[in-house]
Amino acid sequence: QKEVEQNSGPLSVPEGAIASLNCTYSDRGSQSFFWYRQYSGKSPELIMFIYSNGDKEDGRFTAQLNKASQYVSLLIRDSQPSDSATYLCAVIAAGSQGNLIFGKGTKLSVKP
Amino acid sequence: DADVTQTPRNRITKTGKRIMLECSQTKGHDRMYWYRQDPGLGLQLIYYSFDVKDINKGEISDGYSVSRQAQAKFSLSLESAIPNQTALYFCATKDLYTGELFFGEGSRLTVL
């Protein structure tokens, strides 16, 4: 069973701080990695995807991928109360027919 | 208008009733998906379709069936609804180049 693991949280950070969200995956052959944000009762929306080892930055968001250690992380700089949501990590594992496997999500709370 | 549209958005029904959730998309994607989301359990794949003639079971297909009426339409049916099928259901399409999933707004189903 290919798995994606996330700490369920809640992760609480003060406004303006850096929020660090982590995700580990079991399948070493995984190739594509995604971070989705989901507000309560709403649909997930893509924040970033990353395919290669290293960092990928987009505005206040940075995704970090380390395939050797099988983890992917998301950093949110200058966190805002509007960032309060559940963050879902998803992975396309080898042999999954391209289907995304989702973690259960980490709930982030940014306190003003 | 949303690129991926789900109807109904909310439905309350009784045990034993047949329910259909409909999904239509304007993104032109071949691949479509149905997910179920329960609190604390993340997104679980019910069925997926690579094109009109290619439909596949996901990890939790028991009790569900699907129909791909056209490239743009993918419906999910519960032949005889039971209370533990109470959940939030999402339809999604996939961009083959990036792997990104695009979600509909969700259909909240309550089975009494």
B contacts of A93 (beta carbons < 8 Å): none
What pLDDT is stored for residue B48 in this prediction? 97
pLDDT band at A67 (very low <50, low <70, confident <90, very high): very high
pLDDT for A8:
83
Question: Which of A33, A99, A43, A42 is CA-nearest to residue A67?
Answer: A33
Predicted confidence at residue B1, as pLDDT, reads 63
Q: Are B15 and B85 contacting, i.e. CB atoms less than 8 angstroms apart? A: no
- The CA–CA distances, whole Å, from B109 to A92, A110, B46, B71, B78 equal 28, 30, 15, 25, 11
CB A7, CB A106: distance < 8 Å: yes
Name every residue whose Cβ is closer than 8 Å to that of residue A99 and which is 6 or more positions away in sequence: A92, B33, B45, B48, B58
Query: B106 and A34: CB-CB below 8 Å?
Result: no
Chain A residues with CB under 8 Å of a chain B CB are 8, 32, 34, 41-46, 49, 88, 90, 92, 97-100, 102-105
Contact residues, chain A, for B108 at CB < 8 Å: 41
Phi/psi of residue A103, nearest 5 degrees: -75, 175
Q: Closest Cα of chain B to A111: distance in Å?
A: 22
Structure tokens at B109: 């189903």
**What are the φ and ψ backbone dihedral angles of B22, each rounded to 5 degrees?**
-110, 150
> With b meaning 16 or more CB within 10 Å and e meaning fewer, what string describes B76-102?
bebeebeeebebbbbbbbbeeeebbbb
The answer to whether the CB of A3 falls within 8 A of the CB of A101 is yes
Tokens matching residue B4: 């991926």
pLDDT digits (tens, 9 = 90+) for A71-109: 999 999 999 999 999 999 999 988 888 889 999 999 999
Q: One digit per residue, pLDDT tens: chain B, 112 residues?
A: 679 999 999 999 999 999 999 999 999 999 999 999 998 788 999 999 999 999 999 999 999 999 999 999 999 999 999 999 999 999 999 999 888 999 999 999 999 9
Question: What are the tens digits of pLDDT across the range A3-57?
Answer: 899 988 899 999 999 999 999 999 998 989 999 999 999 999 999 999 999 999 9
Give burial (CB, 10 Å; 0-12/13-18/19+) of A26. Answer: middle
pLDDT of residue A35: 97
Residue contact B100–A46, C-beta within 8 A: yes
Instruction: Indicate whether A2 pLDDT > 80.
Output: no
Is B11 at the interface with chain A, CB within 8 A?
Answer: no
Q: A110: closest CA among A85, A75, A84, A78? A: A84
The answer for residues whose C-beta is within 8 angstroms of residue B97's C-beta and 6 or more apart is: none
Which pLDDT value is given to residue A80? 97
CB contact under 8 A, B48 and A42: no
